[in-house]
Amino acid sequence: MSVTKYDEGRLMQVLVAPIVSEKATQAAEQSNAVLFKVLRDASKPEIKAAVELMFKVQVKGVSVLNQKGKAKRFGKTMGRRDHVRKAYVTLMPGQELNFGGEA
């Protein structure tokens, strides 16, 4: 595994939150991929190492996308939601991550 190249404290902070949505569920069913919200400066090898370290699974590949925050009104003033970096983590065949509450 590629966990040894990176600082373990940094890897624990790379993954911000899992994304559980209809689109994420569809990606999981079709291509065995899991979606994560990650730090804006996280690289693909860092994300791969973090998932392998935290969930003890083998990762096949990582795709990332940067999503710009929407411009929204907050009362009178215009504001902007935060920019988000998402990671599609494809797992090796036979590997599985389950974010649902059932065992």
Contact 45, 59 (CB under 8 A): no
Burial class (CB in 10 A: 0-12, 13-18, 19+), 42: buried
pTM for this one? Answer: 0.84
Could you tell me which CATH class the domain 3-91 is placed in? Answer: alpha beta
Tell me: the pLDDT tens digits for 14-65?
Answer: 999 999 999 999 998 999 999 999 999 999 999 999 999 999 999 999 999 9
The domain ranges of the chain are 3-91
At residue 93 the predicted structure's pLDDT band, cuts being 50, 70 and 90, is very high
pLDDT for 77 beyond 70? yes
